[in-house]
Amino acid sequence: MALTDDSGFRATTFVVIDFETTTPSGHPPQPIEVAALALRLHDGAWTETGRSTCLIRPPAFAPVTPADTAQTGLTAEQLANAPTPAQALGALDRRLTPGTPYLLVAQHAATEANVIHHQAERCPTLARTNLIDTIPLAKHLVPGLPNYKLDTLMAHFGIPHPPDRHRAPADVDVTAQLFLHLIAAADRDPRLDSLAALFKTAGRTAKANQPVQAGLFDA
């Protein structure tokens, strides 16, 4: 059976997500932009079921630096009147429909998982959503590349390089294209014949869903 014939896969909405962040000393990365693109396989064709993008005003301890601006093009002036993290991530969280099976999709999903985990109070549903990482999936399906950076994978699959690369909306679009290329390749791989097999190969359990270990000295 092909992956896209699996009932669990067909029932899942895949939400490609990307954050741009600042990285303040002594604190975890703080989001300054988020974009998300929801995809669902329906009658053999992929359908976009939702899209969201939002600038985010960082807290005072995490100002936009010249290095951040050089990377993303975003400036402190652009973000000065943007929604707060609570507003932006709360709005994104409310777009997730209760009872719908979701998986987040990200390039190097540990980055997105870490941002979401540290913002979990503002986006509790998002924080409980597990992830698919395109890097281990690409390593499984396309062995032998010199590296598995997004630009390398884009070149391998012939995905055009957007002029605003390193902005969240552009990176979500190219990551979504990469994901669809990888799923097409996975459909030809007999080892990836179910959603469970896909998650075993490339899944990442959200920190909110991981078991809590008792403290070493708990009574």
pLDDT higher at 139 or 99? 139
Spatial separation of the C-alpha atoms in residues 55 and 137, rounded to whole Å: 29
First to last CA, the chain: 50
Report pLDDT digits (tens) over 60-109: 999 999 999 999 999 999 999 999 999 999 999 999 998 899 999 999 99
pLDDT-based confidence at residue 216 (cuts at 50, 70, 90):
low
Q: Where are the beta strands (DSSP E) in the chain?
A: 13-22, 30-42, 45-55, 102-106, 131-133, 203-204
Task: Name the DSSP letter for residue 163.
Answer: T
Spatial separation of the C-alpha atoms in residues 219 and 214, rounded to whole Å: 9
pLDDT of residue 99: 87
pLDDT higher at 194 or 213? 194
pLDDT of residue 34: 98
Please report, for the chain, the start and end positions of each structural domain, with discontinuous segments joined by +.
3-208
Spatial separation of the C-alpha atoms in residues 58 and 69, rounded to whole Å: 13
Report pLDDT digits (tens) over 156-173: 999 999 999 999 999 999
pLDDT of residue 219: 45
What average pLDDT score do residues 113-142 get? 97
CB atoms within 10 A of CB 45: 7
With contact defined as beta carbons under 8 Å apart, do 123 and 92 qualify? yes
CB atoms within 10 A of CB 91: 15
With contact defined as beta carbons under 8 Å apart, do 182 and 134 qualify? yes
User: Which phi and psi angles does 169 have, rounded to 5°?
Assistant: -60, -40
Task: Name the DSSP letter for residue 90.
Answer: H
| DSSP codes joined into one string, 8-40 | HHHHPEEEEEEEEEE--TTS--EEEEEEEEEEE
Amino acid at 157: F
Is residue 47 over pLDDT 70?
Answer: yes
Domain 3-208 has CATH 3.30.420.10: yes
